[in-house]
Amino acid sequence: MRRQKPRFTPKNVEESTQLATVMLIQTLAEELPKAVSARPDNSSGEPTELNTNSPKQAVEESTQLASTLPQGSLKGSAQLALSQSQESLEESTQQPTNSALRFLASAETLDERCPTKPEQSQTKKSDAQDLDKVTRQLLDNAALSLPDARLVIAYTRYSIPEDEEKDSAIICLQTIPGRGDMFGVVQTSASADFTISFPYCRRPDDERSEGSEQCRLDCRILYDPMSDNCLLINKADKDIYLVDLNFQAVKTCLKEKEGRVIRPGIWTISVDSGERDRFTEDRLVEILLLRRRFSVSIHGVIQQEAGDGSDDDGRGAKRQKLDDGKMKSRMVEVPDSSPKQKEHLSVSDNRQLLPAPRQIVNADVVSLLDLADGETALVQAPEVNLTDAMGRYRLKRIQEISDKRAAGVFSCQRSGVSEILVAKVVCCQKHQTMSGLVRVIEMWMQEKTMLEGLEHRNIVSLKGVDARFLAIYLECLPSSLQKGFQSSSMKPSEAKRILCNVSSALAYLSRREIVHHDIKPANITYSAKRGAVLIDFGMAASVTDSRTMGGTPHFVPPEYVDARIGSRGPPGDVWALGVTMLCVLRKLAASVFKRDIDMGQLRHEWSRSRAAFEDLLQDIASAREQLNLEDVVEKTIFQMLDPDHEKRVSAADIELALGRSRALTEGNI
């Protein structure tokens, strides 16, 4: 969904232009009088103060005074402020554009445009401080005009972000003539990260200008779900220099793939300019990181007074536990300021009252994982960001489905959706290491990416996501095969239907070049009405992905431990489904799957896990030899468990064979 842009009226743009002009004139008002007073022939009593109440008059006076000064008298910041204030006033009378707010760059760039004499080099530090001050003012004022922005990013004229207009999270700001651009970035419910990527040129000395090097800045900013901090990672092969302007300008060099936690405040990114015989920096980007713009509160279970079904207004009394365990009635109203917000916040029973919020019990995990059955989470965000349908909503937890180390899964009811959903929330710990934070965010993004665009009856449907909590909302399905076949045995017709349904799903994934990587009974649901449905795409990846994915060791194919092959691919999913069908048909004893096998040790030839895995393969081979090849289902399973992955039947062939068998049975052929 494209974000509605621009969000600012011409009046607001013009006011922003005038505000930036005033800030530039303030720089002139401080620097010009000093230069004029220091002029040798200033005995005439010429006034040295500017009329800052009138921007136009101030610029005219500045121009007149500057023309009387010797060349090089003005510091770089004042000289640039003079030229930009002139252009800014001209622009304010023209039709405003929607590109970005121009900003003052680094002191090194100012020196290029306004060269300083050797004796003026001691002013370089003060120039940089002046520029940092102006930059702060510009970024802070931009943040005030963007109540839903998480980042305000300014970049120099040498850099041109690609496809910024196509990103719905980007809000372009108004233009002030000069050198750089500025835009805001909203942390939407679909945004787990933001990438700054654009080309730049390393500017060498004039002597070798023909040999300038074209480079690329490529930085990834990951939002920390547990705090207001972010993680900035350098993805390019060139070193970058990250400076914290909030804490005595502390500088950090980040090499390729290195990262650093950044806290709310202003940060700058610089690179080596490439000049010979000395190290100088070009400041490319300035980032204002703001605190999170959303909040979440947990509200207890709605309970009614004993013997009283409702209050006078038809709403049940809400209660909250006191510290001594007693109950007290208390109700809080959820504020709504627009019909659209009311639509997002309304729940199925259309109540607008909730119990008073309780304290977070487990602050070491994301807030949604602190929910207990029957409790409601109220997620709130700035009112201006109504384009994000998942920005504000209620979420009532119904029942826990599973609570594992990797993720918590529970059924829930979300405002704006009539059907029951399943929430899968990736576990992210407080004070997580940088590598750990990257891992959990990429795990969430991987599953989200794999599920987006999938539309198949036998694959779970994605109903929504919320990157702020690393949550994925899915359709609610029946129990998995792991619970189903443990309670009662499957009929042959049911086994055939399961095999046919999942094979169809795998054939569909194979055509889209996706591998599930974790086929097993626990990841297949079944009911007579819906049939078999494949779930849990947390390990899914593209066929071309060379990374070694995880999974469940009891269901990985024999080629996984073969160093000559290593990867699994679609044949690995077929093998795992074959083992799953052995479980459905009760051809393998439950004790077989109780072997202690560590996935990380499987490829270590002399490890205990490798030995246990070899024993498991022997049990599977024995069960395979006992299959009835006269039965179409068991014959298909026999072909699925061929140790040679090249000879193993494909999912598409299984779907075709079972479909042909069904047609023969029904007499259609």
Each residue of 264-293: pLDDT tens digit? Answer: 988 999 988 766 555 577 888 889 899 998
Looking at residue 103, its pLDDT comes to: 32
Per the listing, tokens 């909203």 go with: 186
Least confident span in 459-473, 538-552, 568-582, 634-648: 538-552
Domain boundary among the residues 445, 460, 475 is at: 475
Cα–Cα distance for residue pair 37/47, rounded to 1 Å: 9
Cis peptide before 6 (omega within 30 of 0): yes
Same domain, 629 and 655: yes
Q: Which domain holds residue 502?
A: 481-665
With bands split at pLDDT 50, 70 and 90, how would you rate the model's confidence at 85? low
Looking at residue 475, the DSSP 8-state letter turns out to be E
Confirm whether 32 is domain-assigned: yes
Q: Which of 16, 37, 35 lies closest to 76 in space, CA to CA?
A: 35
Looking at residue 404, its pLDDT comes to: 80
Looking at residue 157, its pLDDT comes to: 47
Max mean pLDDT range (57-66, 244-253, 283-292): 283-292
Each residue of 152-177: pLDDT tens digit? Answer: 888 764 444 444 445 567 777 655 44
Give the 3-state secondary structure of residue 446: helix
Same domain, 521 and 651: yes
Same domain, 415 and 528: no
Same domain, 261 and 146: yes
Looking at residue 7, its pLDDT comes to: 34
Cα–Cα distance for residue pair 331/319, rounded to 1 Å: 7
Please list, in sequence order, all residues whose beta carbon lies within 8 angstroms of the beta carbon of residue 272, skipping any fewer than 6 positions away.
202, 238, 239, 279, 280, 281, 282
pLDDT exceeds 90 at position 579: yes
Looking at residue 112, its pLDDT comes to: 37
Max mean pLDDT range (91-95, 122-126, 334-338, 406-410): 406-410
Looking at residue 274, its pLDDT comes to: 61
Least confident span in 15-19, 144-148, 169-173, 250-254: 15-19
pLDDT exceeds 80 at position 602: yes
Confirm whether 95 is domain-assigned: yes
For 131, the token pair is 């520029």
Angle between helix 651-665 and helix 492-511 axes, rounded to 10 deg: 140
Same domain, 30 and 61: yes
> What string of DSSP letters covers 477-540?
---BHHHHHHHSPPPHHHHHHHHHHHHHHHHHHHHTTEE----SGGGEEEETTTEEEE---TT-
pLDDT exceeds 80 at position 9: no
Same domain, 75 and 184: yes
Domain boundary among the residues 433, 453, 475 is at: 475
CATH number for the domain harbouring residue 434: 3.30.200.20
Q: Which of 98, 103, 131 lies closest to 19 in space, CA to CA?
A: 103
- The H helix count followed by the E strand count for the chain is 13, 27
CATH number for the domain harbouring residue 658: 1.10.510.10
Same domain, 55 and 203: yes
Average of per-residue pLDDT across 71-86: 54
Each residue of 118-131: pLDDT tens digit? Answer: 444 444 455 555 55
pLDDT exceeds 90 at position 245: no
Same domain, 167 and 61: yes
Same domain, 587 and 438: no
What rounded mean pLDDT belongs to the chain?
A: 74
Of residues 403 and 478, more confidence is placed in 478
Confirm whether 528 is domain-assigned: yes
Domain boundary among the residues 246, 269, 289 is at: 289
Same domain, 206 and 225: yes
Percent of the chain with pLDDT over 70: 61
Q: Which of 67, 180, 78 lies closest to 123 in space, CA to CA?
A: 78
Confirm whether 322 is domain-assigned: no
Cα–Cα distance for residue pair 258/285, rounded to 1 Å: 18
The full 3-state SS of 278-314, as one line of letters, equals CCCEEEEEEEEECCCCCEEEEECCCCCCCCCCCCCCC
In the chain, the number of structural domains is: 3
Same domain, 509 and 460: no
> What string of DSSP letters covers 449-461?
HHHTT---TTBPP
pLDDT exceeds 60 at position 44: no
What is the residue type of 654? I
Looking at residue 316, its pLDDT comes to: 36
Confirm whether 584 is domain-assigned: yes
Each residue of 481-525: pLDDT tens digit? Answer: 987 555 567 788 999 999 999 999 999 999 999 999 999 999 999
Alpha-helical segments (H) within 93-161: 107-113, 124-144
With bands split at pLDDT 50, 70 and 90, how would you rate the model's confidence at 601? confident
Confirm whether 262 is domain-assigned: yes
Same domain, 556 and 513: yes
Confirm whether 516 is domain-assigned: yes
Of residues 394 and 90, more confidence is placed in 394
Confirm whether 312 is domain-assigned: no
Looking at residue 515, its pLDDT comes to: 94
Each residue of 177-202: pLDDT tens digit? Answer: 444 677 888 888 988 999 998 888 77
Looking at residue 402, its pLDDT comes to: 86
Looking at residue 252, the DSSP 8-state letter turns out to be E
Give me Rg for the CA atoms of the chain.
32
Angle between helix 76-92 and helix 124-144 axes, rounded to 10 deg: 30
pLDDT exceeds 70 at position 62: no
With bands split at pLDDT 50, 70 and 90, how would you rate the model's confidence at 459? very high
